[in-house]
Amino acid sequence: MMSYKTVRNRASSSITIEKSEFIGVICPVRTNEEAVAFIESVRAEHRKARHNCYAYVLKDGFISRYSDDGEPQGTAGLPILDVIQKTGLTDVCIVVTRYFGGILLGKGGLTRAYSNAASLAVNAAEVVEMLSGYCLTIESDYSRYETIIRCLGEKGARVDKTEFTENVKITASVRAEICDELIETLTDLTNGGISLCKSDELTIDFS
């Protein structure tokens, strides 16, 4: 499973060019349905805007879509898509809303404006790298708890959840390249006295 870059949360920025306001909004999306829902939500926020142009790229299926939404062909959707591709992002959608200011920008001016607005939206977002990894669930008696936690920390694993019941149950995220070594080390340190479950391979934000 390949690592990839995306954004953590929705972010926006705006720029005014020749009295037209261009508002760029970026959002993480994982499916066509999520992308369409996001685009429609931006349109609903800006019902009076002349154009709501967009592009999105999805990891699953290597899908990319874009729309000029009434602007001259190739002046809006493609420049937005180009920004996404050049920044190496995936599972993201960018919508650039234009409030027309009465001055025509020409094809070159429009292309630059939509590209700039999309770039500003990316700059406003928190970019995160999703890495290949696994979720480990470790169950043990309390006598081994500190040993397990120390080992996880030394190997760079992240403890996501700890449940203290009759036994202690630890859920941790582990990078793919160290997972097998970590499991072997934990088994050795606890003399096999733990119950361990490994998930299928995932892409995880370790930041």
pLDDT, one tens digit per residue, over 55-76 is 999 998 889 999 999 999 999 9
Q: Name the phi and psi angles at 42, rounded to 5.
A: -70, -40
CB atoms within 10 A of CB 64: 13
- Give me the pLDDT at residue 16, please: 95
Distance CA 24, CA 16 (A): 11
- pLDDT of 3 over the 90 cut: no
The whole-number pLDDT of residue 21 equals 96
- Rounded to a whole number of angstroms, the CA Rg of the chain reads 23
What is the average pLDDT across 144-173?
95
Interval 101-125 mean pLDDT:
95
Burial status of residue 154 (CB atoms within 10 A of its CB: 0-12, 13-18, 19 or more): exposed
pTM of the entire predicted model: 0.81
The per-residue pLDDT for 86 is 96
- At 206 the pLDDT is 86
Question: What are the C-alpha distances in Å from 179 to residues 64, 128, 157?
Answer: 33, 21, 9
d(CA 72, CA 83): 18
Quote the crossing angle between the two packed helices 77-86 and 106-124, to the nearest 10°.
40
Question: What residues contact 33, with CB distance under 8 A and at least 6 apart?
Answer: none
For CA atoms 79, 81, 84, 85, give the dihedral sign.
negative
Quick one: which H or E segment has residue 180? helix 176-189
- Token match 């995936």: residue? 90
**Whole-angstrom Cα distance, residue 26 to residue 119?**
10
136-158 residue pLDDT tens = 999 999 999 999 999 999 999 99
Bridge-based pairing of strands 202-205 and 158-164 is: unpaired
Q: Which DSSP string corresponds to 62-108?
A: GEEEEE-TTSSTTSSHHHHHHHHHHTTB-SEEEEEEEE--S---HHH
- The pLDDT assigned to 102 comes to 87
- Confidence category of residue 1, pLDDT binned at 50, 70, 90: low
pLDDT in the model for residue 60: 87
Q: Tell me the C-alpha to C-alpha distance, in Å, between residue 53 and each of 33, 37, 93, 95.
A: 17, 14, 11, 6
The residue among 207 and 5 whose pLDDT is bigger is 5
Question: Can you say whether residue 188 is alpha, beta or left, with left for phi > 0 and alpha for psi between -120 and 50 degrees?
Answer: alpha
What is the pLDDT at residue 138? Answer: 97
